[in-house]
Each structure stands twice: as C-alpha cells, then as structure tokens.
Structure 1
C-alpha cells in the first residue's frame, strides 16, 4: 500500500471587515487558501440558515471550505445578514429574517472588492485569479447561489421580477438547495418563505453542479421528498450536472461543521468524497480540458462502493 499523501497546509484569515454603505452592519468575511500556489480560482461560499449559533456565519462550513482550499481554491465566506450571530440585532430590519436579496448582493460586493480582500489577507496578494470565480451554497445558501447563477424570483413585497445574476461567476455548486415553489410548498415553513414560491430556474443558465442527498426529505417545506432538491437540475437549462449522494441527509454527511450536533447522517468519508467531487467539478469547469472531474467520477461514483450517481445534460 502506498503511503498517504501529505496534507496540504491551508491558511485561514478572519474577519476581513468590509464597510458597505446602507448595509446595517459591516460585511465580515473569512478567506481560506492553500499556503502556496498562484492563479487560485475563487469560490464564494454562502452559508445556510440553520439553527446553530455560529455555523450560519463565516465560522461555519470548515469541513468543505478546508477541502476546497486544500484542493487549490481560495474560499471566501461572508457572514450574511441572516446569520444567527446577527439575529438579535437585525430582527426588525427590512428583509429579516432571511434577507434573500442582501445575501446575493453580498457576493457581488465581495467581487467588487476582491483586490482589497487579496491585499488585506496576509500572504495572499497576487495569488488570486480574478477571472475564475465560482459560487457555492448550502440550503438557503443554495438559493442564494441559484440567484447568482441566473435563477429569478418575484419579490413578494413588490411583485417585481428580480434578477440578481452575477456575470463574473463562471460556475456554481448547489448543495441541498431548495427546489421549485408553487403548490408543492405545503409544509409548515412554506408561508415563512414567500420568496421560494416563485423561483424560476429556467433562467439559471450558468453551468452548475446540483448536489442532492437521497435521504434529504424536507417535510417542513414540501411532501415531494428528496427529489425536491434535484429541481435546480431538472428545471434549469444545460449545462447542468446532478450528483445524488447515497444515504445523505440535508447536511450531506456534515458539511456545516465538524461534529455538528445537527448532522443526522454524520460521515467524514461522505464529506471527503463530496469535497473531492465538487472540487474536481469546479476545476474542470473553470479550466476546460482538466481531467479532474472525469477522474473523480470514475473513482467515486462507479462500482460497488460508489458514494452516489451522476447525470448530466
């Protein structure tokens, strides 16, 4: 048996504080990147809503952020206004508690000031590829990512159709993202998320990998079952890829935090496989010709020990 590969050192720096006029609080950001290397593609990672005190902020998602950084990406994690760390201060602010529009706008603001981030974080200056940008998001963060990739919704307050598509983003990863709205939203949470009801994936044209767990049954939103989380794949135009993880619940093995109590399907092996697959997808999508995606799929989604199945269009 060959010796295990040496781990890749990762540097993580937080908070980078960006003052944003009109935002009720400053935008706090964590940046994680490999200790060496240049031309690093950027992944904007949008946290979910969740019930934990700090996982829904720049302090969460270390299991997946660390894996992506070790794979050669610079991972940028904002604390959205919807974070539980801010809820006591912003409970009565316009857009509370989910701040669906502000969440997407945070990512565009970060891209506007990517050079500032790069110069502020120690040992990062001159190492980012500003033209190779992807977005990823989990749960409510998946909805945020979908909007940035081109999905549209109707503002429930004004009736206006809203597009928050970000042309600087070249690819995306939706992790356990919400599916279609309308009549299928019949769970007890449905009335609390009116902005979900009009989601239109037909305009989500940017290439994306949709990741869904085959045990992720979000009954608080819908009785459709786990297939609901595959809607962003089925209802969006090509090019799209769907990765269905076997045995995975909403936390996909535990991506929101190490040993997080809210993870019902804890599996470090699943998280490691997901990290490898998603990093490989982004590498190949951002740099066509790179065989990383094909290699990872052959290793992890074929044979008796497959962690999931893949389909594309």
Structure 2
C-alpha cells in the first residue's frame, strides 16, 4: 500500500509512507522503519517482507535525505535533518488512524497500543532518539523519547560521539554526537564485527555502544563477519552490499522479529527460542 501521503506543514514537502501488512489476521502490532541515508520507503524489502508476512504492520516513511527528493547540499534543512527524521516518525504515530482509513483493508486490524521502531544506520540513529538516546550536539538534555513506542531494533547504529567521531564526522555530521545513558526502552542492537566506518576513529566495537552504554533491558546480536549492510538487508539486488550473505540476512530477519514479538507480547517465547537456536558460527547474543 503506497504511496500514502501525510500533510507536513513546515517540512517543505509532504511525508510519503509505505504500509505493508499481512493479508489476514487482526490485532496486528506495528513496526515503524527508518531507512538509512539516501534510501526511501521502498528499501529494505528483505526485512519488511519477512516482518509483514509474520504478523506485523510495517510503516516506512521517506525521510528528507532520500535521494529521490534531491535535497540540495546547501538546503537549510540539512543541518537539522536528524530532527526532521524524528519528527517524521512522530507524524506517522500521530496519524495512525488516518493511515488506517487510507488503507481500508486494515480497518479494525491494527493494534495501535503495540508499537515498535526499527532503523538501519542513520535510521538506527533516528530510532535511538525515539527510544531515549540524547543528542549531545543540541545540548544533550532534550528528551525525544516517544512513550507510544514499546521496543526497538537498532541495525548498525553509530556509537557515542565526542572524541570517538572522526574529524570528518565532527566537521560535517555533528548530529552524530549521541549519548545512550537515557535509552531505557527495550532494544535489540545488531552489529557486525567487521563493520568499519569512516565516521569514527574506533573499530567495529563502536557499533555496540547503544548496547554497552545504555541501561538494562537490552540485547546485542553480534554478527560474525558482518559489515555495514549486515549481509544485504537493504534490498534483494543492491550493489551497496559488501558482505553479501543470505544466511546472515536470514539471521537478522529471524532474530529481529523474535525480539519484537516477545517485547510486545511478553508471554510469547519467540525470543527465548530464537536465542536457543542461534548457530554458534553465525553470531553471539549478549543480554543485560
């Protein structure tokens, strides 16, 4: 179901979203998915298809940094584009009833009290803000957590800022200066142990910071051999993947679904069962 459009005064362009959902069933929980830099609502089909085929309504906004919108380099929205991203997700949550009305096949089938957020790369940074992380560059005391969101999945999320950022990131991307001490919402952090980024002076362990530097109630899935695209989660046939590995994608699919299923339905044993069946050669789970 796409594109659906939400009016967005002050944004410069209305917000377009894609909605994917099972054909049958009711009481369907929601995942809002925030895409990585330059992508759009049409990306990440391997994840979206898996989640929606297994009982989730997946809503994907197209953020302002999407290549299809062609935002100019000198556009005054660019320095605060991270904030527009957070506002996009909140706009989606504010308009769930409107989206349901625009897709009548969903009428009466959506569990609006069971909401999760997921994101990859820049989208994971967006998701982290809504889960309780703070933006140090903006003063560090602004709480953007949305209480409507009960759980999250951060895929290749950048770590803390400050001296851990590379000179390039400090100069061009100061909004990556994050802290996680207030990120209390239950969250699964997924990181590849071969993910090396030009945005940090550290190694792949930078991507585990959202787990190690946040309060309890978290899980960390470390993918052995995983790089930034985690095996190819951004699409079925994308050239940006440097670590193409269908088994790795399948593991991300299964573990992310299981975590969110059990986080939103605590009586569900999906997460416990998924952890017990994790192949030792593919990855490791840590919990706190």
Verify the 8 A CA contact 1:206 1:239 in the aligned structure 2. Answer: yes
Aligned to 1:161: 141
In the TM superposition, residue 189 of structure 1 has moved relative to its aligned partner by 3.4
Verify the 8 A CA contact 1:150 1:164 in the aligned structure 2. Answer: yes
Distance across 1 between alignment mates of 2:173 and 2:66: 16
Aligned to 2:51: 68
Aligned to 1:256: 234
Distance across 1 between alignment mates of 2:137 and 2:40: 25
In the TM superposition, residue 253 of structure 1 has moved relative to its aligned partner by 0.6
Aligned to 2:95: 113
Distance across 2 between alignment mates of 1:196 and 1:161: 15
Aligned to 2:265: 287
- In the alignment of these two chains, the number of paired residues is 288
Match runs of 1:25-40 below 5 Å:
25-40=13-28
Verify the 8 A CA contact 2:232 2:243 in the aligned structure 1. Answer: yes
In the TM superposition, residue 294 of structure 1 has moved relative to its aligned partner by 1.1
Aligned to 2:191: 212
Aligned to 1:5: none
Q: Structure 2: any 5+ residue segments left out of the alignment? A: none
Partner secondary structure for residue 160 of structure 2:
coil
Verify the 8 A CA contact 2:134 2:140 in the aligned structure 1. Answer: no
Verify the 8 A CA contact 1:155 1:162 in the aligned structure 2. Answer: no
Verify: 1:96 aligned to 2:71, yes or no.
Answer: no
Question: Which whole-Å deviations, capped at 9, do the CAs of 1:69-104 have from their partners, x for residues lacking one?
Answer: 11211000000111111134x544333166000101
RMSD, matched Cα: 1.5
Q: TM-score, normalised by structure 1?
A: 0.88
Verify: 1:80 aligned to 2:63, yes or no.
Answer: yes
In the TM superposition, residue 62 of structure 1 has moved relative to its aligned partner by 0.7
Structure richer in helix, relative to its length: 2
Distance across 1 between alignment mates of 2:228 and 2:216: 25
Aligned to 2:248: 270
Aligned to 1:232: 210
Aligned to 1:43: 31
Aligned to 1:8: none
In the TM superposition, residue 206 of structure 1 has moved relative to its aligned partner by 0.6
Verify: 1:193 aligned to 2:179, yes or no.
Answer: no
Q: TM-score, normalised by structure 2?
A: 0.96
Q: Structure 1: any 5+ residue segments left out of the alignment? A: 1-12, 51-55
Aligned to 1:3: none
Partner secondary structure for residue 148 of structure 1:
helix
